[in-house]
Amino acid sequence: MLPRLHMSDIVLIAASVLIAYFIWLIARTGNVEERVVEDVPVVLDLPPFLEAELSHKVVDVSIRYPTGVRSRITNSAFMVRISGRDQGLVSQAGVREPQAVTIPVITDDVLHTTLTASVEVLKVEPVRITAYVKYRVALARIIAPTEGQPAPTYRCEEPIVTPPERLITGPPDVLNGMERDRNGFVTMWTNPVSLAGKRDSFTTSSLIAVPDEISVLDEETRQRLPRDSALAIVQVVIKEEETSRSISQIPIQAPLLTSNLIARFEPTSGSVTIKGPRSRVESLDPRMVLLRPKEKP
């Protein structure tokens, strides 16, 4: 059976606990301190096809830390790392000009991997920064190669591609390494367009062969197009080869005169040379050709 505590004992115990608490509080206050670390660098993680300029490349970070790590508290021990994808920068990036996007900066963005976990981040100033974000782009000329040959005596003119140029985006090293024409423009090709046996002009759509890590960029929607939807319209003009042909002994048709006049003229026939598509020239019936002198007014 426990002995009964007297009031004086209770007062003594309470006083001891209170003294112990104050001793702990004094000790705790003496072992930690707070300060503002200035000029902590800000790193914005972006996909390789985006680029950005920040309104603030450094921020101030308020921290609480044990006095034992005081000598290691420098701005180089901290970093503010912000995920561009988490901030939705891909959908807000400009195409030809940077787009201003406001980004919140929170304490969870502050990294201090070289210090102990007992370092506590209290706040960051400023709490918002602005990123001026745009796609890394290049203008690519689209060329439609052909394969096969048209029907005999037919030829193909240079295919017309619509649109003739497309904006593309990708990592800078890949963009810089792409093939360019003699004028310095990036060159991309569609899948080959077949001409085999063709006699008539036609229009078709053809998939653009997009290299790895590169995307065609829709300037209006600011969206990167999936590979299977990066299409170009190709207009192919096919013409038959031209030839010429001389036809002789073509009758000359005299002009009509009034009933009391008779016309005699020489020669009564002539020859002509016609030029045009081979099939039409060669199939022309000479009996369908007439010569009619032009009447003077």
* Model pLDDT for residues 51-98, shown as the tens digit of each residue: 999 999 999 999 998 888 888 888 888 999 998 887 788 889 999 899
Q: Is residue 294 part of a domain?
A: no
* Closest C-alpha to 126, from 45, 36, 64: 36
Within a domain: 6: no
What tokens does 93 get? 């990036």
More confident residue, 276 or 124: 124
How many C-beta neighbours within 10 Å does residue 120 have? Answer: 14
Question: What CATH number has the domain bearing residue 217?
Answer: 2.170.120.40
- Domain hosting residue 211, numbered range: 137-240
Is the full-model pTM beyond 0.85? no
The answer on 236 and 247 residing in a single domain is no
Is 57 a member of any domain? yes
Task: Answer yes or no: is pLDDT of 23 > 50.
Answer: yes
| For residues 246-252, average pLDDT | 81
Q: Beta 231-236 vs 223-224: how paired, if at all?
A: unpaired
- Contact (CB, 8 A) for 234 and 195: no
Does a structural domain hold residue 2?
Answer: no
Is position 97 within any domain? Answer: yes
| Number of domain units in the chain | 3
pLDDT band at residue 227 under the 50/70/90 scheme: confident
Q: Is the peptide bond before 267 cis (omega within 30 degrees of 0)?
A: yes
Eight-class DSSP state of 200: S
Q: Judge whether 184 lies within some domain.
A: yes
297 in any annotated domain: no
Beta carbons of 94 and 133 less than 8 angstroms apart: yes
Spell out the residues 6+ positions from residue 250 whose beta carbon is closer than 8 angstroms to its own: 269, 270, 271, 272, 286, 289, 290, 291
The tens digit of pLDDT for each residue in 134-171 reads: 999 999 999 999 999 999 888 999 999 999 999 999 99
- Say yes or no: 233 and 278 in one domain: no
pLDDT digits (tens, 9 = 90+) for 167-210: 999 999 999 999 888 888 899 999 999 999 999 999 999 999 99
Residues 73 and 129 in one domain: yes
Domain boundary among 97, 119, 135: 135
- Same-domain check for residues 175 and 164: yes
Domain co-membership, 159 together with 235: yes
- More confident position, 254 or 226: 226
